[in-house]
A and B are shown apart, each in its own frame.
Chain A
Amino acid sequence: MEKYLAMIRMRFLMMLAYRTDYYTGILIYSINIGAYYFLWNAIYGEKSSIEGLSSMQMTTYVAVAWMARAFYFNNIDREIATEIKDGKVAIEMIRPYNYLGMKTMQGLGEGIFRFFFFSIPGMLLVAFIFPIELPHEPATWGLFGISLLFSFVINTQINLLTGITTFFLYNNAGLIRAKRVIIDLFSGLLLPISFYPIWAQEVMKYLPFQGISYVPSMIFTNGYSSGEIGMALLQQFIWCIILIIPIQLLWIVAKKQLIIQGG
């Protein structure tokens, strides 16, 4: 266990070493939130609510969705791909730890770092500039926290899956990019799921993506009834479990397939 904590700490140090990334990250997220705020304002116009979300809820939704993204988002799929492409994975395999477990911990280290030094100050800043309604009940905050943890797990699992495909494809930059667009679109980051056509919503119910962004954001904006919250959390939890299976299967095959490139 201690080694995993040490890895989280290491990632913290790395995030601090890349200061420019940190500052540009803040800038990019602020621009995104601002842009979506004005876009949604224009769409709402005089209307008080669309698809059951008020304009105020919508602004909150956008802000919290992006701040949550700072926590669950990571690039470990790309990291795995690079490590395989330049053969660095050999170094990882000579250490007494589980490679995927360590990658997850690195993602978590990154997430925790951004949560404290990015999301929280960012949220305060956004709450200051834009009209946002923060939840009043502590329970909502708690449920949001749990849901956010599940988002991290689901997103990381999907990243691991994408990353492992490098073992077979050797160059999967296109796949990684496609995955990113799919997640942004189907997770409810850009558009709440309830805004999609009914048939699309039906399809998305059977996909893990809405567990990444839509569920925690809806909890935060009080868009769910308490029964719906329970169902949504359960669904997230089930996806966390289900996704373990393909990862483990692929991993077993991948280890046999492994070719160390470049000598």
Chain B
Amino acid sequence: MSDAIQVKQLRKEFKSASSRSGLKGAFRDLLTRNYKIVPAVNDINFTVKKGEMVAYIGENGAGKSTTIKMLTGILEPTAGEITVNGMNPHREREKFTQTIGVVFGQRSQLWWDIAVQESFRLLKKVYKVTDEQYNDHMEHVIKTLDIGPLLDKPVRKLSLGQRMRCELAAALIHNPPLLFLDEPTIGLDVLVKLKIREFLKEINEKYNTTILLTTHDLGDIEALCERVIMLDEGKIIYDGELQSLKDNWAEEKQIHFQFIEQVALHEVQSLPLPFDVNWVCDEKSQTYIALLKEESDHISQLVSAVVAHFKIKDIKIHETSIEEIVRNIYEEGTV
């Protein structure tokens, strides 16, 4: 068994009631309602190997959370097969949940009015963790996440960043081989984000923990995941390496020039170059942007030509960021 997650032709449909319009419609709704069947997840297939860190991304409503909820055994799929840690999550729920850890960024799994350590203590009993295992593992987790001083405070008194670190620790009490993180860094400041990313990397290396995370923060992905699964309208539109996603979509480089003297657009356009350069003028900041394919020494040729003809105040080479790539993909809807 080297696959942590296997998903075959997975499908989830929701029945949603649509209301008729007007007062008359409302009365008719009392008697019979119109139902529409909406597929939230539409026949998807993928596998995740043990020890992999995979980002599961998509726009709001693309079906990410629904997939996670099926993978964790909360929801029953309409059709298709799921095997996670060698089990069917929904049918063998109680046994299965022993082998996973889950963090929902939007919900707390700690008890609101009670000290954090009491929640930990209960979860320790729930997951049947021995004192030895607990001390051995959690001491380290508590130290790395720096939550020692928070343990005797009730959860409601914690800040979001403090709480999220405690949530993460709570999900790891039984040291699960598979970790689901549903938007774990939502609403957190940069420092906490960095800490959480570092921590996730560390447990992945130490215990070979498989991690599947959904996020809107592409920094998370860049820091953690080599593989990306992208979802749109319930379908997988990309499944592969982050690097090749970048390579395919970030073909163009942007070079920003600022000149000391006034330069007209036709002047830069008439520069003698043996290849095509697309010039864009940003009038507000008096910046000219050259868009060109990243091939052989085109960039150096362009720069030397510009430098030879004009006096330069500033020059920036801009690589297309993940955000832009993803935005492009979302807009076009295919990869």
Contacts and interface: CB of A to CB of B under 8 A. Distances in A.
Contacts of B95: 96
A127 interface: no
Interface of B: 14, 65, 69, 72-76, 90, 93-98, 100, 102, 104, 106-109, 111, 113-114, 118, 121-123, 125-128, 154
A98 B95 CA distance: 11
A3 interface: yes
B98 A260 contact: no
B104 A90 contact: yes
Interface string A1-19: 0110111011001100110
B14 A88 contact: no
A136 interface: no
Nearest to B15: A259
Given A17-B154, A91-B104, A259-B14, A97 B74 contact: no
Interface residues of A, number: 28
A10 B122 contact: yes
A91 B69 CA distance: 10
A31 interface: no
B69 A14 contact: no
Given A90-B104, A93-B74, A94-B72, A14 B125 contact: no
Interface in A137-170: none
A242 to B, nearest CB: 25
Given A14-B113, A17-B113, A87 B122 contact: no
A3 B69 contact: no
B74 A10 contact: no
A106 B302 CA distance: 72
Specify the main secondary structure of chain B where it touches its partner: mixed
Contacts, number: 76
9 contacts: A2-B128, A3-B122, A9-B122, A13-B114, A13-B118, A90-B107, A91-B107, A95-B126, A96-B97
A200 B123 CA distance: 48
Interface in A7-57: 7, 9-10, 13-14, 17-18
A259 B65 CA distance: 12
B138 to A, nearest CB: 16
A260 B114 contact: no
Contacts of A18: 113
B121 to A, nearest CB: 7
Contacts of A260: 65, 69, 74-75
Contacts of A6: 121-122, 125-126
A258 B113 CA distance: 27
